[in-house]
Amino acid sequence: MKDENGERIRFGRAQKFRLAAKGSEAVAAYTLMVEKAREGVGRAQFDAARATWSEPRNLKPEDGLYLVEFSQAERTIPETVKRLDNCATPKEVKAAIERLLECGMLEPVPAPIEPPAPARRYW
- Tell me the per-residue pLDDT of 69-91, one tens digit each, with 9 for 90 and over: 999 999 999 999 999 988 899 99
Average per-residue pLDDT for the chain: 89
Contact 75, 16 (CB under 8 A): yes
How buried is residue 113: exposed, middle or buried, by Cβ count under 10 Å (0-12/13-18/19+)? Answer: exposed
The mean pLDDT of 50-62, rounded to a whole number, is: 93
Element (H, E) at 17: strand 17-19
Task: Read off the amino acid at residue 56.
Answer: P
Report which of 87, 90, 94 is spatially closest to residue 65, judged by C-alpha positions.
87
* Predicted local distance difference test score (pLDDT) of residue 9: 75
